[in-house]
Amino acid sequence: MSNIVDPLVGQIAARVRAERERRRWTLAQLADASGVSRAMINRIERGESSPTAVVLGKLSAAFQLSVSSLLALAEGSAGDDDAPGATSADGDKAGVRRQAAAAEWRDPATGYRRRQITGPHFPAEIAEIELPAGARVPYPAAAFAFVRQVVWVLDGRLTFHEGDTVHELAAGDTIELGDPAPCVFANTSGEACRYAVVLTRGERP
């Protein structure tokens, strides 16, 4: 892959390694569980490669975490700015999250952009996603285990595959996901699609 410039790469690397080690898995065991090569996982954990959204989906599924959860945990590992009583540099309480300071992750393969809205201590996870025209991002069913999730289209059109069912969603439409199923987020239009993902966790694996 090309040289890495995404500031979240190091945080994602640390989070993937921490989740693997928490389960006492070797690189080979995570590779078997996820379908991602051992060499690729090693490069990700060393911060030498930026994982694509598809690779993150496979790793999240192996950990039984949503992609949103894995990235939110990575973003939350950057520091203690969200600790109770903390104050930002401009005097705001930690509950205020300025847009300019929000962590943003881009998929190097599709240009998919994700910005975390809520902090790591908030009981629900909310993320804003921008899916470029023509982009298609699949996730395995296990990436949706132990979560309840709503997708809310803000701008553009989203073609959402939930198992064998295809939903054509326009701005203002929402879909509440049911039981875990393989899902595909696709933008078949000629313009970018922007949507929000609202997620709450059930039992943590």
- The yes-or-no verdict on residue 90 having pLDDT over 60 is no
Domain count, the chain: 1
- Residue entry with tokens 């949507």: 195
CATH code for the domain in which residue 49 is found:
2.60.120.10
Tell me if 4 is assigned to some domain. Answer: no
Tell me if 92 is assigned to some domain. Answer: no
Report the distance separating Cα 79 and Cα 162, nearest Å. Answer: 36
Report the distance separating Cα 187 and Cα 168, nearest Å. Answer: 10
- The yes-or-no verdict on residue 116 having pLDDT over 70 is yes
Cβ proximity of 93 and 87 under 8 Å: yes
What is the span of the domain harbouring residue 51? Answer: 9-78+102-201
Cβ proximity of 62 and 143 under 8 Å: no
Tell me if 89 is assigned to some domain. Answer: no
pLDDT digits (tens, 9 = 90+) for 148-202: 899 999 999 999 999 999 999 999 999 999 888 999 999 999 999 999 999 887 6
pLDDT digits (tens, 9 = 90+) for 159-172: 999 999 999 999 99
Query: In degrees rounded to 5, what are phi and psi of residue 77?
Result: -80, -5
Report the distance separating Cα 5 and Cα 51, nearest Å. Answer: 12
